Amino acid sequence: MNIGIDDELNSLLRIIIKESNDHNYWADHESCDLFQTARYCGGYDSIENAFTFSYYDIKNIEWWFQITLDEIDKILNGEIQQIKIRQPD
């Protein structure tokens, strides 16, 4: 399933890039819940080389997704407008 990039996620991604767009920086600041909003909770996972997030839909059902630093740049530039989400394992 895919979801569109909403303002809440867009704001989180802008914070991430403003902080740093370097993998090594984020690997040193690894945290599973560094970013928390009403619908999103996540952080950087150096094993995955990506930010991993939980997303809570309107029914408060949890979904998972990952976004790399390259994908964040593409989202913020408008090249990617949706992300793939999946149910937790």
Domain assignment present for 8: yes
Domain assignment present for 89: no
Instruction: Report how far residue 76's alpha carbon sits from residue 68's, in angstroms, rounded to the nearest whole number.
Output: 12
Looking at residue 32, its pLDDT comes to 84
Give residue-wise pLDDT tens across range 15-74: 999 988 788 899 888 888 899 999 999 999 999 999 999 999 999 999 999 999 999 999
Contact 53, 65 (CB under 8 A): yes
**How many residues would you count in the chain?**
89
Domain assignment present for 18: yes
Domain assignment present for 37: yes
Q: Which residue has the tokens 């370097």?
A: 22
Domain assignment present for 40: yes
Q: Which residue segment(s) compose the domain that 79 sits in?
A: 2-84
Domain assignment present for 43: yes
Domain assignment present for 74: yes
Contact 86, 70 (CB under 8 A): no
Number of structural domains found in the chain = 1
Please report the sign of the dihedral spanned by the C-alpha atoms of residue 6, residue 7, residue 8, residue 13.
positive
Is the pTM higher than 0.75? Answer: yes
